[in-house]
Amino acid sequence: LPKIITPGDRAGEGYSKVLEPNFEQVQAHVPPKISDWKFCGSFPSPLKTNPYRSKLGGAFVSDNETILCDIVSHAKISTVSREYLRAGPREFCAFHPANVKACIVTCGGLCPGLNSVVREIYASLTQLYGVTEVYGIPMGYRGFYSTEFKIRKLDDQFLEYVHHQGGSVLGSSRGGHDTKLICDSIMDYGFNQVYIIGGDGTHRGAMLIFDELREREAKVSIVGIPKTIDNDIALIDKSFGFDTAVEEAQRAIRSAKVEAISTVNGIGLVKLMGRHSGMIAMYSCLASRDVNACLIPEVPFQLEGSWGLLQYIKECFA
């Protein structure tokens, strides 16, 4: 959604900017809703009536609340920004908990915290919203349709201790995406909430599933949970697995330092995860305080020359 940030007297005392929506473009950028093609009910959130969670009902998020993306502006002139709809619990739900049949699937590579995410989705659905049917899809996307695997109903006993284990309790795999077969399976099982945990490729697949189900005018919500230890997603505080990656990276850095100082002109070189993001490298270096140079893709550097990296390394041995 586009937003125009303008200076003006209407901001009031103590404020310098007024945020105004760009009405001509707002409607074109509003994401689609199931109610656009299928009748949806409007049920009061169980957070308002759940006696064990009564204090959670005072922090509902409005459908019109947004988060600014471009937060750097000019002090004296008008600037522009993008904004995104804010996620969070709504006061009214489109699905009655008694009619929800949810499923959870983990796709792609493994990531620290996967089991915790699966467990918390299940706990939120069952304990906060009163959902009784939550299923686990085995081994990624192919688990929807492959006869080799069995979709199982999740319960408290199965998930009680999984947050202490690594990997994915549901199993995970790369590939296996067949939009038609997956959507056929979702319709056959009667799932109306699908929680997909994965990275870039997984979410591209999730969008294909959403588009196909919309084409079929199915009343199904597709929910994507980003899985990246790189912490390279804007507008969220932190992606799960990032802290663990930084902690483990420091062990490698300490080992590299031991190797480097134990020989003549030794150099320790540690290569960390981050396809297009240097978050893990940067935070690992800040935490360890033992690194002379940190190279990240966001900051270009010069290798040769008097101001280059090689010259700096020579100076470190001086």
- Residue 31, burial from CB neighbour count under 10 angstroms (0-12, 13-18, 19+): exposed
Q: How many CB atoms lie within 10 A of CB 137?
A: 28
User: Using the 8-state DSSP alphabet, how is residue 87 labeled?
Assistant: P
Distance CA 316, CA 314 (A): 5
* Contact criterion met (CB below 8 Å) for 196 and 202: yes
230 catalytic? Reply is: yes
The residue with tokens 């064990």 is: 52
User: Using the 8-state DSSP alphabet, how is residue 128 labeled?
Assistant: I
Query: Which residue is catalytic, options 70, 200, 230, 290?
Result: 230
Distance CA 249, CA 272 (A): 7
* Contact criterion met (CB below 8 Å) for 145 and 78: no
Query: Which uninterrupted H or E stretch holds 207?
Result: helix 200-215
Candidates 190, 188, 186; CA nearest to 213 is 186
Copy the structure tokens of residue 253: 């850095």
End-to-end CA distance of the chain: 54
Distance CA 102, CA 210 (A): 15
Candidates 6, 31, 27; CA nearest to 16 is 6
Residues forming the active site: 230
